[in-house]
Amino acid sequence: MIVRFVKDSLRRAPRRKALLVAAIAMGSAVATSMLGVMLSIGDKVNRELRAAGANIVVTKRSAALTGGVGTVTSTAVGAENYIAEQDIPKIKNIFWGLNITGISPSLMAQERAIPVQGVWFRHPLPTPEGTVQLTGVSVVNAVWQVRGRWAEDNANECMAGEGVMRRTGWKPNGTVEVLGAACKIVGVISSGDDADDRVLMPLARVQELTKRPGVVDRIEVAALTKPEDDFARRDPKTMTAAERERWSCTNYVVSIAQQIEDALPGTQARPVRRVADSEGKVLDKVGGLMALITLAALLSAGLTVWSLTATTMIERRGEIAIMQAIGGARWLVATLLGVEVALVGLLGGVIGALTGVWLARFVGASVFNDAVEVSPVLPVVIMFAATLVALAGAAQPLRRALRLEPAVILREGV
């Protein structure tokens, strides 16, 4: 009887049923797409932010450079104040090595009043997987605005910041003398930070001109990290063995920095707090916004179900009264009508979930230039949630209709 009743009931008012399905499908599609993007957005937003600069800076613990004037003006107090360039690949060997998206070592010198920084512009770095990762300042600071082009690592080329160009009167594509050697300015940097007042040269060239072969004094590391919470800020020395393992196996910026220090003894790896804190705030705000949109979409679908169901219950109150008058218990009538609403909600949830998967991939490709992989569990959860939303929206009108006295309705001749 239940199957026959529901089958006949679903055939009535097809336009209204279509509106119910469309409302639930729209809410489910928005919820699926937003949750799908939100669950995979962390690494994608992190990658976008990583183009804005490093979030970890590595230096020697005893590092100290003396200033000076002339062509070669930065000299080391001792060899122990530098990091061996050959040790840089060890950073990729840490537990979170795959999260390291960029490494930019540098060596500072001085040309009169102008800081000179030797860097990797686009350097091939071997990885533990046997592949080669192109990295350097052009990768770690990809958002820098460059007039001209990035310099080559194996050429007598250099780049100058806007501030240097204004003070010296140098011209783009001109040849200048830096550290006693000629180099061609192939690009002008506009970064908004200290790079605007520096000259960037190939690292090997600065090492040669300053007679400091094979060493660097600073390594900037860009890593994909998880926003810090209270657990991340705890002192690892006060943790139990299990807590320390959990802390190390979570990609907090502090735990990655600790692993880098372990890989490069005698160094200190300091998180760039301004960058790390900004990442956490951005991710929290984006996640909160998407959660709010999801909630609003489901609430809107629920209100639509409430409105249309209320109208349906008014039209069918005579039918409900007859069922109750011939002995139908309220729970049975509620079950018959509830199954109908649940099937409508499930159908809308199926359509919305499938549409939402496509929409999530579209958003990922449009915003992050990368497809979003939606977990197969999410559409199932959304279908279940859509059914619950439909039942929740229909609960009040259905309850109100069942509380009406059958004798009063039938006396009205409805």
- The first and second tokens of residue 125, run together, are 């770095």
pLDDT of residue 161: 93
pLDDT band of 414, cuts 50, 70, 90 = very low
pLDDT at 277 over 90: no
How many CB atoms sit inside 10 A of residue 154's CB?
11
For residue 58, pLDDT beyond 50: yes
Please report, for the chain, the start and end positions of each structural domain, with discontinuous segments joined by +: 2-46+279-411, 55-271
Which pLDDT score is estimated for 128? 82
Tell me the average pLDDT across 286-301: 84
Percent of the chain with pLDDT over 70: 78
pLDDT at 20: 84
pLDDT tens readout for residues 373-395:
778 888 899 999 999 988 888 88
Percent of the chain with pLDDT over 90: 33
pLDDT in tens, 165-200: 999 999 999 999 999 899 999 999 998 888 899 999
* pLDDT score for 214: 92
Q: List residues bridging with 249 in a β-sheet.
A: none
Mean pLDDT along residues 103-131: 90
- Please indicate whether residue 102 or residue 372 has the higher confidence score (pLDDT): 102
pLDDT tens sequence across 237-271: 888 889 988 998 888 889 999 999 999 999 999 98
Q: Quick one: pLDDT at residue 404?
A: 66
Cα dihedral value 206, 212, 218, 223, nearest 10: 80
Q: Is the pLDDT of residue 55 over 80?
A: yes
Q: Which residue is listed with tokens 């080391």?
A: 76
User: pLDDT category, 134, cuts 50, 70, 90?
Assistant: very high
Query: Is the pLDDT reported for residue 65 higher than 50?
Result: no
**What values do phi and psi take at 101, rounded to 5?**
-95, -15
pLDDT at position 224, please? 84
Sorting pLDDT into bands at 50, 70 and 90, what band is 46? low
Q: At residue 276, does pLDDT exceed 90?
A: no
pLDDT band for 281, please (50, 70, 90 cuts): low
Q: Supply 379's token pair.
A: 């559409």
Chain Cα centroid distance, residue 209: 42
Distance CA 272, CA 55 (A): 5
Beta strands in 162-217 (DSSP E): 175-178, 181-190, 199-202, 215-216
The HSE-up count of residue 367 (CA atoms within 13 Å, CB side) is: 16
More confident: 63 or 298: 298
For residue 315, is pLDDT > 70?
A: no
Q: 87 vs 309, which has greater pLDDT?
A: 87
What pLDDT, on the 0 to 100 scale, is given for residue 258? 92
Instruction: Tell me what the pLDDT averaged over the chain comes to.
Output: 82
* Amino acid 146: pLDDT: 93
What's the pLDDT band for 69 if we cut at 50, 70, 90? very low
Residue-wise pLDDT for 215-237, tens only, equals 999 999 998 888 777 888 888 88
